[in-house]
Chain A
């Protein structure tokens, strides 16, 4: 009986301070990695490299921020990378045929959002476990993208459009401004709106959430649609930064996005985590990969390191939470 009542208790209300400690550790990790890299390599602290890290981190963050909301509901979206690829290819085609970047951007966002909505429908209406539904979606999207592109590469976009991904404003890359905007929106939405708090509640205890009158299915649909739309946004940034689109651009994006969410302290079991944490996670991951790059470690090592980081992050998270309880 005691066991049951212990399990049924929600996390202690003091978990905010617990979160603060966790965040402190992560910031410490950022500083530590920076210090090590600065000692090992002279060019790490150059302005060019720091801006590069920020821009790279912002790309990971766009995908990971939407994913954070999904993980907060104890779900997972494995289709984000493939979604970026499809959205980028479709948006690129629209820009090429109509010549209008605005139309292309809207198409990319809409494509990402629709894919996310379909994920949400599979999870809510068809009640397929999220990791397997979005994994199926990954391969459907992969197939569609390769079929649509038929081995072609799209390139050469209007100069104005390319500014979004590669331009500067007051010395900072434009994606960094977008990062700050979405970091603010994401944090406000998750922490300061009723919908955001309902998302935490669904992740912490779906049954209790339903019994207290939260429209669980509609919130889940929203969360997956947001995750898809953020993948759509990332596709636009990619498109304008690379100035080209190919079918395979999404293949190496999913694992880093999941890594950023998990390093950032969002729990796979739902209900715990913040969008700001995900930003720190994206920063840590980017610093590690950037550091390997500076120390001339071959890019072939990146998936191995990212995989190890994912597992370490989950393991550490589970360990600290077990100790906290």
Chain B
């Protein structure tokens, strides 16, 4: 049964060119035109700034592999970031804050999974609804104001280093390793491939696709909770629009990374390269002093081009 479920796995070699070439091209481009781009300090900057996106894009890969989508991730991240800020502010405990963020994130993820799997609502509408709900809750709990004065223990997470490596990067690497292990070396991972590729096979194997789907979406919400801690630490506050549109960067990273929207194929390393491509694009545009609005538009163009190329490849 396990072999049957793994059939949908793509040949990674086929994928490498697209996203790796895109990343290399962006690095060469900005190396040539952006002053200060090719410095170790800036390189480390790009990596640190990509950590939150990594934590969203990895679970988003699994969700998209299941022929789903999670538009609520950015709004849920905003809400969890506020929860971290509020709880850590009142209890002075970073861990309780993280716990609150993860709980709220996991709850939203589970609701997403339930709406998609049990009620059968198309994922993009179900998560658009929960996007509104998370956005509304963020406004309600914060009353539209920033939550400031959070404890040092939260803020330090973003600036601390471990063996000379910034802690956010360590966290992102650990997350990547965990997702890699989960997707490629556990039964659950094989089932995730089957969710998008061959759901019938799962049923014949006596498994419940619905439970698996809920687990995949819950994982996304949980990771949004963890990323919420990083977001609060990075901004040194909780802000009711902090994560606005981050789900789009995550979708962009997944799409650029070669995970397909319609065939249940996924590639985690591609997503990681996609995250870096988005990070380099934003950082480079920033260095040549283009405003963040242009960065947002470029990421939009990046997604459309990536999907167009993916469509060409699938027809070829």
Bound together, the chains give a CA A144 to CA B297 distance in angstroms of 6
Contacts of B234-263 to chain A: CB distance below 8 A: 245, 248, 251, 255, 261-262
Contacts of A145 in B (CB 8 A): 293
Bound together, the chains give a CA A301 to CA B137 distance in angstroms of 7
Contacts of A305 in B (CB 8 A): 136
With contacts A128-B307, A135-B248 known, is A307 near B130, CB below 8 A?
Answer: yes
Q: Does B308 contact A (CB under 8 A)?
A: yes
Contacts of B255 in A (CB 8 A): 132
B136 contact from A78, A144, A300, Cβ within 8 A = A300
B262 contact from A129, A141, A146, A304, Cβ within 8 A = A129
Q: Across the two chains, which residue of chain A brings its CB closest to B120?
A: A318
Q: Does B299 contact A (CB under 8 A)?
A: yes
Contacts of A262 in B (CB 8 A): 125
Q: Does A302 contact B (CB under 8 A)?
A: yes
Chain B interface: which size bin? Answer: 35 or more
B296 contact from A135, A142, A304, A308, Cβ within 8 A = A142
Bound together, the chains give a CA A262 to CA B132 distance in angstroms of 15
A142 with B297: CB separation less than 8 A = yes
A131 with B139: CB separation less than 8 A = no
Contacts of B136 in A (CB 8 A): 300-307
Digitize B56-81: 1 where CB-to-A-CB distance is under 8 Å, 0 elsewhere: 00000000000001010000000000
Q: Does B300 contact A (CB under 8 A)?
A: yes
Bound together, the chains give a CA A300 to CA B136 distance in angstroms of 6
Digitize B131-152: 1 where CB-to-A-CB distance is under 8 Å, 0 elsewhere: 1111111011001100000000
Contacts of A307 in B (CB 8 A): 128-136
Contacts of A127 in B (CB 8 A): 311, 315
A300 with B144: CB separation less than 8 A = yes
Contacts of B251 in A (CB 8 A): 132, 135
Chain A interface: which size bin? Answer: 35 or more
Bound together, the chains give a CA A136 to CA B261 distance in angstroms of 14
A315 with B121: CB separation less than 8 A = yes
Bound together, the chains give a CA A136 to CA B300 distance in angstroms of 5
Bound together, the chains give a CA A131 to CA B292 distance in angstroms of 24
Contacts of B262 in A (CB 8 A): 129
Bound together, the chains give a CA A300 to CA B129 distance in angstroms of 16
B121 with A143: CB separation less than 8 A = no
Q: Does B122 contact A (CB under 8 A)?
A: yes
Q: Does A310 contact B (CB under 8 A)?
A: yes
Bound together, the chains give a CA A135 to CA B140 distance in angstroms of 26
Contacts of A76 in B (CB 8 A): 124-125
B294 with A122: CB separation less than 8 A = no
Identify which of A126, A143, A145, A301 gathers the most chain B CB atoms within 10 Å of its CB.
A143
Contacts of A315 in B (CB 8 A): 115, 119, 121
Q: Does A258 contact B (CB under 8 A)?
A: yes
Contacts of A28-47 to chain B: CB distance below 8 A: none
Contacts of B71 in A (CB 8 A): 135
A310 with B129: CB separation less than 8 A = yes
Contacts of A285-325 to chain B: CB distance below 8 A: 298, 300-308, 310-311, 314-315, 318
Q: How far is the CB of B290 from chain A (nearest CB, A)?
A: 8
Q: How far is the CB of B255 from chain A (nearest CB, A)?
A: 8
Residues of A within 8 A of B (CB): 76, 78, 122, 126-129, 131-133, 135-147, 150, 247, 255, 258, 262, 268, 298, 300-308, 310-311, 314-315, 318
Leading 10 A-B pairs by shortest Cβ distance: A304-B136, A307-B132, A143-B297, A146-B293, A140-B300, A143-B296, A300-B139, A303-B136, A311-B129, A139-B300
24 A–B contact pairs at CB < 8 A?
Answer: A76-B125, A78-B128, A129-B261, A135-B124, A136-B300, A140-B297, A141-B297, A142-B296, A143-B293, A143-B296, A143-B298, A143-B300, A146-B292, A147-B291, A262-B125, A268-B122, A300-B139, A303-B132, A307-B129, A307-B136, A308-B132, A311-B121, A314-B126, A318-B120
Q: A129-B261, A311-B121 are in contact. List 15 more A-B contacts (CB 8 A).
A: A122-B308, A128-B304, A128-B311, A132-B255, A132-B261, A139-B245, A139-B248, A300-B136, A303-B132, A303-B136, A306-B132, A307-B136, A314-B121, A318-B119, A318-B120
